[in-house]
Homo-oligomer: A and B are copies of this chain.
Amino acid sequence: MKILVIGGGGFIGSHLVNDMVAAGHVVTALGRRPVPFRPLPPNVGYVSGSLDDRNLMRRLVADSDAVAHLASATVPTTGDKNPVEDVQANLIGTLNLLDAMAETGCDRLLYISSGGTVYGVPQSTPITELHPLAPVCSYGIVKVAIETYLNLYARTSGLRPITIRASNPYGPFQGNLGIQGIIGTYLNRALNHQPIEIWGDGSTIRDFIFVPDLTRLCLTALESNKVGIYNGGTGHGTSIQEIAELVQEATGQKIPVLYRPGRKLDVPISVLDTTKAQTDFGWTPSVSLREGISLTWANLEHENHIFSTAQS
């Protein structure tokens, strides 16, 4: 297939693009950066642009058999600071994409939603796809609105959307600026011999998924004929305190921990039930958290070594 990957220059997107190329697809990646944040395979086209650019979207979509939409201009920590911007960039941007797809007849869409925010504070765990949607942050509100619009466009324009509600992905090449992905942030801190921060008492539980496991699910889902919503997690919960310990173990470092006040947008627990994805796609995550953190650390040290060598 000819696939347009929106957000293809980002963390999850760049892994997904690699999977797609390996599976023989022809990929164009769209990103906001002038260049992707890490090099893409040589035969992948990269376009720097925005969902707001309606003419660009129509042109790119008209030339594609399917679209994978992973772009988000915000993360949970930044969305609440400016909900207007969050809605403008992510919701209106996505509606521009859906309008472009309706106009050009490109009807297959993979959308990456957020299993960690759309459900809000869970009534029970692990959380199935049928759990009520009650987001407590702007990021999650926008994701819910987008998911609902996908259903609307399915009815009105024949869109065939498949949504993966991802839990907390981590792995090689994750950003480490401290705003997204605690494992990447902690490993980067370890690399720089800096203390790590825990927001709250460390009891907050998340469902961490190794990014290649997640992108394998995404590609399988996109290639299938299914439409609908699937959780993309592991079914296992790990506390932030345990993550801090696993990072110490993987890096072989004793890292000081600074405890900070809890944030209002943090739900206490989020663990996804992935029975539906297992049943429909025969998919299961294959990399344990301990193994995944070790692999991520090895990659980070390797990258750092290349960078240091290039600098010296």
Interface residues of A (CB under 8 A from B): 80, 83-84, 87-88, 91-92, 95-96, 98-99, 132-138, 141-142, 144-145, 148-149, 151-152, 155-156, 264
User: What's the Cα separation between A155 and B142 when bound, in Å?
Assistant: 17
**Residue of B whose beta carbon sits closest to that of A91:** B87
B87 in contact with A92 (CB, 8 Å):
yes
Q: Is the CB of B137 within 8 A of A152?
A: yes
24 pairs, A vs B, C-beta closer than 8 Å: A80-B156, A83-B99, A83-B149, A83-B152, A84-B92, A84-B95, A87-B87, A87-B91, A87-B145, A88-B92, A91-B145, A132-B133, A133-B133, A136-B151, A136-B152, A136-B155, A138-B149, A141-B145, A141-B149, A144-B144, A144-B145, A144-B148, A155-B264, A156-B264
* Chain B hits for A88, CB < 8 A: 92
Q: A84-B95, A84-B99, A88-B92 are in contact. List 16 more A-B contacts (CB 8 A).
A: A80-B152, A83-B98, A84-B92, A84-B96, A87-B87, A91-B145, A132-B133, A133-B133, A136-B152, A138-B149, A138-B152, A141-B145, A141-B149, A144-B144, A144-B145, A144-B148
CA of A259 to CA of B27, assembled, Å: 49
Q: How far is the CA of A87 from the CA of B86 in the complex (A)?
A: 12
Copies of this protein in the assembly total 2
CB proximity of A200 to chain B, nearest CB, Å: 16
Contact residues in B for A144 (Cβ distance below 8 Å)? 144-145, 148
A142 contact set on B, CB distance < 8 A? 145
Q: How far is the CA of A155 from the CA of B265 in the complex (A)?
A: 9
Q: Across the interface, which residues of B come within 8 angstroms of A99, CB to CB?
A: 83-84
Instruction: Tell me the nearest residue of chain B to A142, going by C-beta.
Output: B145
Q: For A83, what are the chain B residues with a Cβ–Cβ distance below 8 Å?
A: 95, 98-99, 149, 152
Report B-chain residues with C-beta under 8 Å of the C-beta of A152. Answer: 80, 83, 136-138, 141
Q: Complex formed: what's the CA distance from A145 to B118 in Å?
A: 12
A98–B84 CA distance with the chains assembled, in angstroms: 10
